[in-house]
Amino acid sequence: MVNYDDILRLTGRFGWFETRTFLFVCLATLLGCMQTFTQVFIAGKGDHWCRAPKLNDDECSMLNYTTEECKDLFRPLDDNGKDFSKCQKYNLSGLDHETILANRDNLTFYGVVDCDDGWIFDRSVYPSTLTEEWELVCDKEAVPNILQSVYLAGFVVGCLLFGYLADKIGRYYSFCICSVGAAAFGMLTTLSPNPIIFGALRFLVAACSYGLVLVLFVVATEMVLPHQRVYVGIFLWYPYVMGYFVLVFLGKFLNSWRLFVVLAVTPYITMVPGFFLVKESPRWLLTKGLYEQANEVIAVIAKTNKKEIPAGYLTKLQEDQEATKSEEKASIVYILRHPILTLYLINLMFNWFVQSFVYYGLSLGTSSLGVDVYIAFGISGAVEIPAYLSSMLTMKYLGRKISTGGFMILAGLACFATIPAAQGPIRVAVAMVGKFAITASFANIYVHTAEIFPTPVRTLCVGVCSVAARVGGLIAPLILVLENTWQSLPLICFASSSVLAGLLVFFLPETKGKLMPDTIEDTLKLRKTYVNTAEGSKNDPNEKIA
């Protein structure tokens, strides 16, 4: 019996066609990282203080103050009595400099008022931010965080919408829609006149940029043989790490947040050649019964890779596909009709939730490394480089379950170990072990999920799991508030959930070396051990499967 994996062996395994397609996948993940973390730099909050009567350099010198110290003359101490207030100033309206200076040691007599003349911002760290332009400080200081939450909410919509569209109208058209949408909405963001418009446009950018990553990830896993999925599914995240360093470079040398946004979204234009070079997934076309279109794409792949398909081979493929085609239409509803598949989906949704929950929970502490914010951000990205390599190697040699479950348990134990760790380098090192482990397991779960669900609902199921992950990311900052009740409680939540999710992974089927399922029945058979079908083909009996 001929299946699509047999066709892949004939068309060159991983030739020029697969290589050029994979380049677009890598570009999408790099741009996805840049969009996700852009707000770290364009909405950074540096020091600020109320705009108040300004003394010139001569007046400051007469008082034996530096220009920097002069600004503190008119700033009351905040509630803790140690730091100068960022949101209030002495009520000096109507007073001239002479009167103010004469009473500079007793300005509390005049009382305090809110910053009614605006603020002065320290630009030593962030030269230009929307926080400064729209004065999102003091009573508006929560707005940047709300904007970031709105962006993450766009991920949820992108997961559901484009996960559905990719399985309904195809991977190719979804890819085109996401590319155009991310570029268009991204450019419009630079024209935002206020936070509301900015948030709405960023929401749409998030939906399209994450939808693009989701769709192309599925395309990448569907276009390769089983032993290549680990490399494809993990290597594509290295460009994601590169996004960290690109953002550091842009943030360090640009002095306009609007220009920053322009340069972050402009590369989406490079997706245009993909409209001509990327083709619809033949695997999806075959499951939809679009045999003529599938044959055309397979012919293009073979020609591009300079391979030939034996006469009658595609006809035999069509006949075998029709003979094995399930009478019932595969859908998410049909998945839920099977208790085993429902348990798989619930298990994976919980795992994705915990992956994101712990990942973002640990990532929030990177700014406390005691170094420059740009260096801290770079370190946060650098730790993911060895994590992805470890993910690739352990999945290849140990299998999906041991690798994913082991890393999640390690992440949980690292969180537990962080609780008694002393503040400083030791605590940071232990926390980075946790982020290393959760990053590796997060990469694993993408591959494992794609290998469990059948082709007609693969993108949708990955999308549903991604929704669970986005919810976990949204909840993580809220859990950190619990430290006001008990300082160790957030870490206990992260640690316990990670260990539990890691143990639950072992109830999922092992997919290492098994053919990617095309039907519901194929997924149900994953619990059984493959022998001949997984270890190669008649054309290449010695092929090793990872």
528-544 per-position pLDDT tens digit: 644 333 333 444 434 44
Whether the per-residue pLDDT at 162 is higher than 70: the answer is: yes
**Percent residues over pLDDT 70 in the chain:** 77
Same domain, 82 and 150: no
Averaged pLDDT, 151-170 = 85
- Confidence (pLDDT) at 397: 87
pLDDT at 361: 77
- Token pair, residue 503, equals 């143990």
State mean pLDDT over 365-393: 74
Give the pLDDT score at 315.
Answer: 74
Separation CA 168–CA 177 (nearest Å): 14
| CB-based contact 52:116 (threshold 8 Å) | no
In angstroms, the CA 238 to CA 155 distance is 21
Share of the chain above pLDDT 90, in %: 16
Query: Residue 483: what pLDDT?
Result: 67
Interatomic CA distance for residues 49 and 204, integer angstroms? 34
Same-domain status, 343 and 444: yes
pLDDT, residue 392, reads: 83
- Reported pTM: 0.74
Mean pLDDT computed over 351-358: 92
> What's residue 202's pLDDT?
93
Q: Is residue 175 part of a domain?
A: yes
> Domain of 215?
1-44+132-324
State mean pLDDT over 315-323.
68
Per the prediction, the chain carries an average pLDDT of 79
One domain for residues 421 and 507: yes
Identify the pLDDT of residue 353. 94
What is the distance between the alpha carbons of residues 395 and 401, in angstroms, rounded to a whole number? 8
Q: Is the residue at 137 inside a domain?
A: yes
Q: Is the pLDDT of residue 493 over 80?
A: yes
User: Is residue 71 very low, low, confident or very high in pLDDT (cuts 50, 70, 90)?
Assistant: low
Region 449-460: what's the mean pLDDT?
Answer: 80
Q: Which of 135-149, 191-205, 427-441 has the lowest mean pLDDT?
A: 135-149
Residue in 428, 467, 412 with CA at minimum distance from that of residue 404: 412
CA atoms within a 13 Å half-sphere pointing along the CA-CB vector of 224: 27
Judge if 162 and 302 occupy the same domain.
Answer: yes
The number of helices, as runs of H, and strands, as runs of E, in the chain is: 25, 4
Name, of 10-14, 87-91, 180-184, the range with top average pLDDT.
Answer: 180-184
Dist. CA 211–CA 200, nearest whole Å: 17
Two tokens at 451? 């290998």
Q: Are residues 316 and 222 in the same domain?
A: yes
Taking residues 424-441, report their average pLDDT.
83
For residue 264, give the nearest of 41, 44, 35 by alpha carbon: 35
Q: How many domains does the chain have?
A: 3
- The sign of the dihedral angle between the CA atoms of 348, 498, 384, 440 is negative
Same domain, 507 and 468: yes
User: Coil, strand or helix: which one is 454?
Assistant: coil
Q: Which has more confidence, 167 or 172?
A: 172
The reply to whether 126 falls in a domain is no
**What pLDDT shows up at residue 371?**
54
pLDDT at 50 over 50: yes
* CATH for 147: 1.20.1250.20
Please give the single-letter amino acid code of residue 497.
S
Of the residues 71, 99, 121, which one is the last residue of a structural domain?
121
The last residue of a domain, from among 95, 121, 147:
121
Give the span between the Cα atoms of 113 and 517, in whole angstroms: 67
Nearest-angstrom CA–CA distance, 215 and 236: 13
Q: 233-277, pLDDT tens digit by residue?
A: 778 888 988 888 898 888 888 888 899 889 989 999 888 898 988
Report the pLDDT value the prediction gives residue 350, as an integer from 0 to 100. 95
d(CA 130, CA 126): 10
